[in-house]
Amino acid sequence: MRSALITGLAGLQLTADEAAFLGAHRPCGIILFTRNCESHEQIRGLISAAKEAIGAADLLVLIDQEGGRVQRLRPPLGRALPPAAAYAALYASDQDGACRAANSAARLVAEDLSALGINTDCAPVLDVPVRGSHDVIGDRAYGVSPEQVARIGRAVAEGFIAQGMLPVIKHIPGHGRATKDSHHDLPVVSTTRAELSKTDFQSFRLLAHMPAAMTAHVVFTDIDDRGPASTSEVVTREIIRGEIGFHGLLMSDDLSMKALSGSLKDRAEAVIAAGSDVALHCNGDLAEMQAAVAGVPALDRRAMERFAAAIAVTQSRETFDVAAAEADLAAVLARHAAITESV
């Protein structure tokens, strides 16, 4: 049996208490942050120790390696990566070139992460920001139209998949319109469902076939004003699984974010009851991990099928022209640097 939980870890090495927790509860994944990453050898050792403690090779090992301000591995641990906005800027003059460059960078990132034992990247971001929204998304977005965001996001996701890296589209059904950062506050969006369908939901609808997604801690009052999408059975059923048509592995955003209320157990229970397959807890606090795991069940049959399909994505890789991909990435980095310096 596997717990419907993805958990963080406290530091650079697995502690005895963490090993006991992993062995007792057997989560389906772990997520790494900068606090967990000192050297390539150390990262591989930490992942190996976690797998040994859980007693399973089929473990999702997540990281946020979007590029720009959201990347846990920075030089020298990871290569320099531009923000999503750099591809959006290129798209204005060269749509195909922007998508090719985004795909190239994703393939390179996938190869880098795979060499460390990481098999899941929490990207691409498919949120569509609007004027006046909080900059928590900002330059993490691939544009301001759903079609452009989806096209570049597809190039990224397909680059990951080609190299055996599981992409996690986020933050379904959309965080781009929020005026607050859900890490610190609960965003409330009062836009009509009809308008959301044409904008925020559309980029996710266009990539609904992707194998994994992360929910948004955002209230959409015209659909369900009682709580955020991540804990809303109505939003999950009618929008995420219904209108958008996403049927892959669905995980919550981080349970410890301040957008949510109640105990960690309550939060975990709420996201599972709403229809997520897996609850995500990130900060590595063992007491919180214990509380969160008390609120999740074992993966049920349907969730296990989705988990198995997600794992299957990580099992094969294509060959590609690494030199050409690195040239594409270097050109985007140079262009972005030139634009940034001129502002």
Catalytic site residues? 183, 253
- Output the six-digit token pair for 39: 């050297």
Q: Is the dihedral of CA 17, 23, 26, 30 positive or negative?
A: positive
Say how many C-beta atoms besides its own lie within 10 A of residue 216's C-beta. 28
Contact 153, 174 (CB under 8 A): no
Sign of CA dihedral 79, 119, 37, 291: positive
d(CA 181, CA 203): 20
Assigned token pair, 244: 């958008």
As a whole number of angstroms, the distance between CA 163 and CA 154 comes to: 14
- Tokens at 85, concatenated: 């906005």
How are the residues of the chain apportioned to helix, strand and coil, as percentages rounded to the nearest 5?
45, 15, 40
User: How many angstroms separate the CA atoms of 249 and 308, rounded?
Assistant: 9
